[in-house]
């Protein structure tokens, strides 16, 4: 049942590939703007890179939420899904598909941005351990699923309300703060040659915690949205 739902979500996302790509471009564009707006100086860019990339990832996730929830709500398909499958399963299928189609591409495209933001500037060449790109990718890999999980609650609660876009942002952004802090702190710590395992561990813990609770909460919220 779960895989039937997931297959459908992925198929719909593939048919809407243009809409799926927009958040990804948004992510890249936002980061690209910073060197233009502030300073192209490498040392400076390196300093702000973790924060900028993480904030952009967070906003891109927020931007893509609507795609996976709104159309099913407005054409009545959500009702049918909830009649035939358990709400938690419906929610989990949507969250997994959402991450696969929008979260994972952010992780994959992040090396490009690492180069652009001079993340590896001044580091000894050729020493693999000094390369910051894998750490950036790892922090995004652990952090973006949590963004999708938490965002799912927000969008589901706001489906029935009009003017939902802003509402979701206001509801969800405060919840994103811990992920933002530990996500960018991972890279900052690594840049300063400090240990970053603790930050990664906390990102992982947040992910597991959200994975355990949010599909259920999202399911209930979807159920309320259609009633």
Binders in 85-104 for other proteins, by CB under 8 A: 85
Angle at 58 between CA 57 and CA 63, to 5 degrees: 95
Mapped to the 3 state alphabet, what secondary structure does the chain carry? CHHHHHHHHHHHHHHCHHHHHHHHHHHHHHHHHHHHHCCCCHHHHHHHHHHHHHHHHHHHHHHHHHHHHHHHHHCCHHHHHHHHCCHHHHHHHHHHHHHHHHHHHHHHHHHHHHHHCCCCCCCCCCCHHHCCHHHHHHHHHHHHHHHHHHHHHHHHHHCCCCCHHHHHHHHHHHHHHHHHHHHHHHHHHHHCCCCCHHHHHHHHHHHHHHHHHHHHHHHHHHHHHHC
Q: What minimum distance in Å lies between the beta carbon of 154 and other proteins?
A: 22
31 is an interface residue for other proteins by CB under 8 A: no
From 18, 83, 127, 166, residue interacting with other proteins (rule: CB under 8 A): 83
Q: Does 84 bind other proteins (CB under 8 A)?
A: yes
- Smaller CB distance to other proteins: residue 197 or 227? 227
Q: Which of 25, 29, 38, 75 binds other proteins (CB under 8 A)?
A: 75
Tell me if 77 contacts other proteins by CB under 8 A: yes
Q: Is 76 in the site for other proteins (CB under 8 A)?
A: yes
- 160 part of the interface to other proteins, by CB under 8 A: no
Is residue 15 involved in binding other proteins (CB under 8 A)?
yes
Which listed range, 23-31, 32-40, 81-89, 115-123, lies at the site for other proteins (CB under 8 A)? 81-89
| Closest distance of CB 41 from other proteins, Å | 46
**Binding to other proteins by residue 33, rule CB under 8 A?**
no
45 vs 93, which CB is nearer to other proteins?
Answer: 93
- Applying CB under 8 A, the residues found at the interface with other proteins are 1, 4-5, 8, 11-12, 15-16, 71, 75-77, 79-85, 226-227
């Amino acid at each position: 049942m779960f895989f039937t739902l997931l297959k459908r979500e992925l198929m719909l996302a593939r048919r809407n590939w243009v809409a799926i790509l927009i958040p990804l471009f948004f992510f890249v564009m936002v980061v690209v703007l910073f060197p233009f707006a502030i300073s192209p100086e490498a040392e400076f860019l390196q300093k702000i890179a973790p924060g900028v990339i993480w904030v952009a990832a967070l906003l891109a996730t927020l931007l893509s939420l609507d795609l996976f929830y709104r159309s099913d709500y407005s054409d009545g398909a959500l009702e049918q899904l909830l009649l035939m499958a358990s709400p938690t399963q419906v929610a989990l299928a949507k969250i997994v598909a959402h991450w696969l189609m929008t979260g994972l591409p952010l992780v994959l495209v992040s090396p490009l941005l690492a180069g652009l933001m001079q993340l590896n500037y001044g580091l000894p060449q050729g020493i693999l351990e000094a390369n910051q790109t894998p750490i950036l990718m790892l922090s995004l890999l652990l952090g973006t699923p949590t963004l999708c999980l938490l965002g799912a609650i927000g969008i589901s609660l706001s489906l029935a309300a009009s003017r939902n876009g802003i509402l979701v942002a206001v509801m969800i952004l405060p919840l994103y703060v811990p992920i933002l802090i530990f996500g960018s702190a991972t890279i900052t710590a690594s840049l300063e040659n400090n240990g970053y395992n603790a930050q990664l561990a906390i990102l992982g813990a947040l992910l597991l915690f959200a994975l355990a609770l949010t599909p259920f909460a999202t399911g209930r919220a979807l159920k309320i949205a259609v009633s």
